[in-house]
Amino acid sequence: MNDIFVYGAQYFRPPNPCCSRHWFHLRNIRDNLGFNTVKLWVMWNACHPFPETFNFEELEEIVEICKELGLNVLLQTVLENAPYWMEREFPDARYVNARGQAQELSGNGNTPTGGHPGLCFDHPSVREHGTAFLRSCGEFGRRHPCVIGYDCWNEPHIEPVWNDNFWANLGDKLFCYCPFSTEKFRDWVRNKYGTLENVNQSWARYFTEWEDVRTPFRCGTYSDWLDWYRFWFDNLKEQQAWRYATLKKADPDRFVMSHAGGVPPFLPRVEAGINNYSLPEPVDMWGCSFAPRFQNWRTSECAGVLDITRSCAKDKPFWVAEMAGGSGHYSGLSRCPLPRPKDIRTWNWLSIASGAKGIMYWCYLSEITTGEAPGFGLVKFDGSLTPRAREAASIGKLLKRYAHVFNDYQPQPQAAILFDPDNSNLTFAQEDNDVFGSETHIGWYWAVWNADIHARYLRFSDLAHVTEKVLIVPACQIVTEQVAVHLRRYVEGGGTLIVENHFGLFSEHGMQQTPVPPFGLAEVCGLEEDESESTFDSEKPFLFNPLEEPYSQAVHRCPTVLMTEPVDAEFRARTFVTPLLLTTARSIGECLGNSLAAHNRFGRGETYYFGTCLGRSLFHRDEGAGSIIGAILSQKIKPTVKGKNLRPRLIDAGKEALLCVFNDSRSEAYTESIAVPDIFHQAIDIRTEKRVSVRESVVKVTVDCEDVVVLYLWEKKCFNGLNQ
């Protein structure tokens, strides 16, 4: 599809930047930043002023300049800003929130030209006019050879869930409860269950007419919420397929991609209905937005986001479609720290080491409009380069120089992690958020990251084909009979299954089931769960506690678990303490006189079961918990390269390689000796171009805190044009 590594920036979102400066800025992008691609937002309300009129004049001018400068163009079609004539004609197409309030079109932080949040695509006339707009976008793009492709949906989610008005509560932010979406949901339920009796049985209701099936807006029952979000997963995927097919029909020769904004479970936004497994299915490529300093992520969280984005793209290429170029806004005045040159270095090389096939910054120049001013821009407002922009430019040169090493590189995941969005949906129905699932997953990924391996993320429907030696199943409250069959087969066949408590406590309809774990998994794991008790990070009751006393029983104060295998270690239990009643399993961890960790052999495989939320202990960077999981992983998996405090990743191209060594410490620089495959005898630091000695297949590397060092390795005969 592309014979270049796409490296560029978002450039145009009307009215930014000022039209009189296009030549200056685009030349700056090409000559001083060395980028090869710019992204232009094609806004619906800017280009479709009347029902039968389309106007691409402004875009035409920019595309012509790009053509003359030799810059590639990616067209980002944005339909979340409807023309006002449509709202006048179809007022019943407005999005409706859970409080029953229809959303009039208006301006918004990411929609400076108004028209936000657009109109509901479940309304047939909105779909019809949207089709006409997308078709004309495709016809416009097809006329211009410098257009390489389309991003058909920016950060897909249920609109306008991210409409964070200052006064908004959760009810203001849940969508869409309009008559068209409601009817579509009812049809979806009818299609799934066939009869009302089946709905009644699954939801525990006494409906007598189909009209009784309502969209959930009150908390307390789980079955309807689970189906509501499953409906939205299907509905958004169908919308993705519509956008794709319409553009592809108008311009069959260009790629059509899309990219995620929220990346669950690292960014849990359950109410936004984001299923990053199903949304990439209809498109040619997938991507993610990526603003680590905004989220205060360490490199390990960044790596997890990239691993799950690659996993969701499956065999399609993935891009880092929006890498932060400046500081993001928490509010109009409050912003996150500016990216430093070392952040830009780390994010880029981590993207490459994770298998990304394109990198675009958000954005080239900060905008004059809305809450994004002044932020996000890679360069200063006059176009002069910042230190981070200079770093981005120099990385661009290195990417070009070493593209032959990483072009065909795909990381080989050695561990699998089950994250099924159904579990997030259940936690949302329980809690009105999924902080629990998110923290748990972030904790588990930290352990995987420290083992110097990549992970492949799976949903329930992927469980039939797990080839990795270790399968980690965090925060999995829902287990179906089919899931249990697959997991049993995986362990029988020699896999190592690691799970934590409440494993299958609920059915797919959100109903409690027994035993835990269910459907024969008790035999696989050699145990059943006893009654669990909550344990609290705060260690004290939050209701009626005028003296601020701690809980009198140790079980509620995150008690210590003493582990004897695979290493002697201790960690503090989090969220739940769930005694394990062992049958064939052996206790490997005790807490307050109960077994809280057990190991079982089953078939040719084995299971590790933790009677607590070990992932939340890992989230709190509990060293004991980290050493236990590190020991299990190292027994089963041999990473290609391994560090102690540094995290090396090898991009191996046979006779040459790039060794990226990351340091995710906030404050410490480390020097380590790292063993590399014995084929490599020569090395240079690609940034300083200084030789690094390779003695007995070991290189010594010093990496500053929150930085990366990249070595180019080669065998003696192979040479990259550098003096030996």
List, in order, residues 6 or more apart from 640 with CB less than 8 Å away.
452, 650, 652, 677
> Rounded CA gap, 575 and 443, in Å?
13
Nearer to Zn ion (CB atom), residue 122 or residue 391: 122
List, in order, residues 6 or more apart from 701 with CB less than 8 Å away.
646, 648, 661, 671, 672, 673, 674, 692, 709, 711
* Shortest distance in whole angstroms from residue 161 CB to Zn ion: 12
Q: Are 267 and 221 in contact (CB under 8 A)?
A: no
> Rounded CA gap, 132 and 124, in Å?
13
The number of CA neighbours under 13 Å toward the Cβ of 265 is 31
List, in order, residues 6 or more apart from 249 with CB less than 8 Å away.
135, 138
List binders of Zn ion among 281-300 (CB under 5 A).
none
Nearer to Zn ion (CB atom), residue 98 or residue 176: 176
Pick from 137, 176, 426, 646: which binds Zn ion (CB under 5 A)? Answer: 176
DSSP-assigned states of every residue in 420-437:
-HHHHHHHHHHHSS-HHH
The secondary structure of residue 559, as a DSSP letter, is P
Backbone angles phi, psi at 175, to 5 degrees: -135, 170
Nearer to Zn ion (CB atom), residue 122 or residue 224: 122
* Shortest distance in whole angstroms from residue 184 CB to Zn ion: 8
> Rounded CA gap, 183 and 177, in Å?
9
* Shortest distance in whole angstroms from residue 280 CB to Zn ion: 24
Nearer to Zn ion (CB atom), residue 120 or residue 247: 120
Establish if 497 lies at the interface with Zn ion (CB under 5 A): no
Nearer to Zn ion (CB atom), residue 156 or residue 328: 156
List binders of Zn ion among 107-126 (CB under 5 A).
120, 122
Stretch that binds Zn ion, among 171-179, 400-408, 492-500, 658-666 (CB under 5 A): 171-179
Q: Site map for Zn ion, 336-375, x if CB under 5 A?
A: ----------------------------------------
Establish if 235 lies at the interface with Zn ion (CB under 5 A): no
* Shortest distance in whole angstroms from residue 162 CB to Zn ion: 16
Establish if 181 lies at the interface with Zn ion (CB under 5 A): yes
* Shortest distance in whole angstroms from residue 102 CB to Zn ion: 10
Nearer to Zn ion (CB atom), residue 119 or residue 472: 119
Nearer to Zn ion (CB atom), residue 157 or residue 488: 157
Amino acid occupying residue 339: P
List, in order, residues 6 or more apart from 52 with CB less than 8 Å away.
none
Nearer to Zn ion (CB atom), residue 178 or residue 505: 178
Stretch that binds Zn ion, among 34-42, 172-180, 518-526, 554-562 (CB under 5 A): 172-180
Nearer to Zn ion (CB atom), residue 38 or residue 176: 176
Q: Site map for Zn ion, 131-170, x if CB under 5 A?
A: ----------------------------------------
* Shortest distance in whole angstroms from residue 501 CB to Zn ion: 39
Q: Are 286 and 260 in contact (CB under 8 A)?
A: yes
Nearer to Zn ion (CB atom), residue 130 or residue 355: 130
Secondary structure (3-state) at 517: coil
Total of residues contacting Zn ion (CB under 5 A): 5
* Shortest distance in whole angstroms from residue 202 CB to Zn ion: 24
* Shortest distance in whole angstroms from residue 246 CB to Zn ion: 20
Amino acid occupying residue 157: H
> Rounded CA gap, 170 and 706, in Å?
36
Q: Is 596 left (phi over 0), alpha (psi -120 to 50) or beta?
A: alpha
Angle at 552 between CA 549 and CA 556, to 5 degrees: 100
* Shortest distance in whole angstroms from residue 107 CB to Zn ion: 21
Stretch that binds Zn ion, among 181-189, 203-211, 654-662, 694-702 (CB under 5 A): 181-189
Pick from 147, 161, 178, 458: which binds Zn ion (CB under 5 A)? Answer: 178
> Rounded CA gap, 678 and 683, in Å?
12
Interface residues toward Zn ion, by CB under 5 A: 120, 122, 176, 178, 181
